[in-house]
Amino acid sequence: MTQVPTAAGERAPRLSRERIVAAAVEMLESGGVDAVTTRTIGEALQVHPTALYRYFRDMDELIREAADHILEGLAEETPLAAGHDALDVLFDLCLGLRTALMSHPGAAGGVASGPSRMPHERALTERMLQLLTLTGLSDDDVVLAYHAVIEYTVGSAAIDAPGKSTDPDEDSRHRAWRADYLTASPHDFPVTVRLASRLYPTQDTQFRYGLQVLIDGLRNKLPAP
Amino acid sequence: MTQVPTAAGERAPRLSRERIVAAAVEMLESGGVDAVTTRTIGEALQVHPTALYRYFRDMDELIREAADHILEGLAEETPLAAGHDALDVLFDLCLGLRTALMSHPGAAGGVASGPSRMPHERALTERMLQLLTLTGLSDDDVVLAYHAVIEYTVGSAAIDAPGKSTDPDEDSRHRAWRADYLTASPHDFPVTVRLASRLYPTQDTQFRYGLQVLIDGLRNKLPAP
DNA sequence: ACCTGAACACCGTTCAAGT
DNA sequence: ACCTGAACACCGTTCAAGT
């Protein structure tokens, strides 16, 4: 782990990809992606703001690496238990993914687009495709179902997470939002006003419902058992 | 519409919320949300970069207003046609919403969080809740289904849209991604490699599949007809 | 080889000053 | 009332210079 000096004049580097990523992950958790800048990282690691450019091509590469680090172990932590079928495991896996993304506001943006180049992201993709294959879905369905589930999970996290860092607690925020809806014109928005008191259950409840519906929809496509 | 001078010394203002929003929407369409800055707007409207602060509290307010402007007419353009039930109409409405968001990269972030305060956003919410109520779903299901559908649509647009502005055409990008997957270790990622050729169909195909599955899942919750 | 210093081209935003 | 000018506190990034 630690660098062994092979010659007299060699100084051990103060920095490393690992140290920088660790700092980035920490700041991702406390202040979200906007809090991780070249300056804040420099301060946290007691180096010059531009020092990280020796280890990363640019800020984007660092964010993607930090985002991937957050997914560590996720694919492995959800084994196939008795009584749980593959789609139930997929459900839990998505819950875990959401939890990881929600606790690091903005991390969803680092996972978001493109293929899974990063190691933990790749493991997650593999695990999801594997679970979906186990259900008996056709290959085409497996691939499309994978995309549907990952886009819903990551996409909703990208939407929901930002509010968590700046705003007060979720309950009071939602109360305020419901009150906002109640003041809407009953003539122009009759349904909205009628349902206002039910709007904005906790974000977690919302997410689980949508994920359950999505997975129930996939069950419709399953061959008869 | 045009300002009538009520006294001698009054000059007609060169700027207005409308003109600024129009400029912002245009730049949202051409270069995405990153392209709309105080400086670029100033240049487009031939005013000082800080001039817009007379009309908007901050950049966030402007972006939200521009994002809402994009949703204009969306709720009305999808009437209940014969042979189409309410969920089919909801499907089309979501497609329209996605198209609007995808053609203005980053606009999804302006729609994303919080309640629908903006007029067009409100109309869209009302329309969706109305359609879902027509299906016969319970009020609780209506509200949760609304959240699921809107989060999937806006969330996936937030993920998919950014790539559209910078990258080349979608087909070549996806070919590259599939090739990337094929180079993955067959031992570590057997399923990924096997399905690599099927991965990344067009984003539109992906989205429609997921939306269809989601709405099919909602059909499961419908009372018997 | 590893990090620093200075510099550059950007941001959003405030506020006093001009007309 | 409406807009400008100057200034401030931030960004990411490059590159020559130090050790």
Residue-wise pLDDT for A164-193, tens only, equals 645 556 667 776 776 677 667 778 888 877
What is the Cα–Cα distance from A164 to A103, expressed in whole angstroms?
A: 9
Q: Is the pLDDT of residue A95 over 90?
A: yes
Q: Measured between beta carbons, which residues in chain B are less than 8 angstroms from residue A201?
A: 143-144
How many angstroms separate the CA of A60 from the C1' of C17? 41
How many angstroms separate the CA of A103 from the C1' of C13? 30
In this complex, do B220 and A218 lie within 8 Å of one another by their Cβ atoms? Answer: no
Mean pLDDT calculated for residue range A116-125? 92
C1'-nearest nucleotide to the CA of A55: C2
In this complex, do A159 and B155 lie within 8 Å of one another by their Cβ atoms? Answer: yes
Q: Measured between beta carbons, which residues in chain B are less than 8 angstroms from residue A182?
A: none
Q: Look at residue B171 in the predicted model and tell me its pLDDT.
A: 67
In this complex, do B139 and A195 lie within 8 Å of one another by their Cβ atoms? Answer: yes
**Nearest Cα to Cα of residue A201 among A181, A177, A217, A182:** A177
Residue B74 confidence class, pLDDT cut points 50, 70, 90: very high
Q: What is the mean pLDDT of chain A?
A: 88
Q: Measured between beta carbons, which residues in chain A are less than 8 angstroms from residue B190?
A: 126
How many angstroms separate the CA of A59 from the C1' of D14? 14
Q: What are phi and psi of B42, to 5 degrees?
A: -60, -40
Q: What are phi and psi of A85, to 5 degrees?
A: -85, 180
In this complex, do B217 and A221 lie within 8 Å of one another by their Cβ atoms? Answer: no
In this complex, do A206 and B181 lie within 8 Å of one another by their Cβ atoms? Answer: no
Q: What's the token pair of residue A47?
A: 């180096």
Q: Measured between beta carbons, which residues in chain A are less than 8 angstroms from residue B164?
A: none
- Name the closest residue (CA) to the C1' of nucleotide C15: B50
Nucleotides of D under 7 A from a protein CB: 1-7, 10-15
Q: Measured between beta carbons, which residues in chain A are less than 8 angstroms from residue B128?
A: none
Percent of chain A with pLDDT strictly greater than 70: 86
Q: Is the pLDDT of residue A115 over 70?
A: yes
How many angstroms separate the CA of B56 from the C1' of D12? 27
Return the residue of A nearest to B149 by Cα. Answer: A210
Indicate whether this model's pTM tops 0.85.
Answer: yes
Q: Given phi > 0 = left and psi -120 to 50 = alpha, else beta, which region is B49?
A: alpha
Q: Look at residue A91 in the predicted model and tell me its pLDDT.
A: 97
Taken in order of first residue, the domains within chain A and their CATH numbers are: 17-70 (1.10.10.60), 86-220 (1.10.357.10)
Mean pLDDT calculated for residue range B175-188? 72
What is the Cα–Cα distance from A68 to A60, expressed in whole angstroms?
A: 12
| Cα–Cα separations (whole angstroms), residue A43 to A31, A36, A96, B195 | 15, 11, 32, 45
Q: Is the pLDDT of residue B214 over 70?
A: yes
Q: Look at residue B41 in the predicted model and tell me its pLDDT.
A: 98
Q: Look at residue B164 in the predicted model and tell me its pLDDT.
A: 63
Residue of higher predicted confidence among A139 and B117: A139
CA distance B139 to chain A (A): 7
Q: Look at residue A212 in the predicted model and tell me its pLDDT.
A: 98
Return the residue of A nearest to B138 by Cα. Answer: A195
CA distance A79 to chain B (A): 17
| Cα–Cα separations (whole angstroms), residue A123 to A69, A143, B116 | 12, 15, 37
Q: Look at residue B167 in the predicted model and tell me its pLDDT.
A: 54
Q: What is the mean pLDDT of chain B?
A: 88
CA distance B126 to chain A (A): 6
Q: Look at residue B193 in the predicted model and tell me its pLDDT.
A: 74
What is the Cα–Cα distance from B117 to B71, expressed in whole angstroms?
A: 13
* SS3 at position B65: helix
Sequence length of chain A is 225
In this complex, do B192 and A126 lie within 8 Å of one another by their Cβ atoms? Answer: yes
Q: Look at residue A183 in the predicted model and tell me its pLDDT.
A: 67
In this complex, do A210 and B156 lie within 8 Å of one another by their Cβ atoms? Answer: no
Near-strand C residues (CB closer than 7 A): A 11, 13-15, 42, 46-48, 50-51, 54; B 36-40, 49-50, 53, 58-60
Q: Is the pLDDT of residue A200 over 60?
A: yes
Residue B3 confidence class, pLDDT cut points 50, 70, 90: very low
User: For the segment B123-154, what is each residue's pLDDT rounded down to a tens digit?
Assistant: 999 999 999 999 999 999 999 999 999 999 99
User: For the segment A59-91, what is each residue's pLDDT rounded down to a tens digit?
Assistant: 999 999 999 999 999 999 777 777 789 999 999
Mean pLDDT calculated for residue range B26-55? 98
Residue ranges of alpha helices (H) inside chain A are: 17-31, 38-44, 59-70, 86-102, 107-112, 119-134, 139-166, 170-182, 190-195, 203-219
Percent of chain A with pLDDT strictly greater than 90: 65
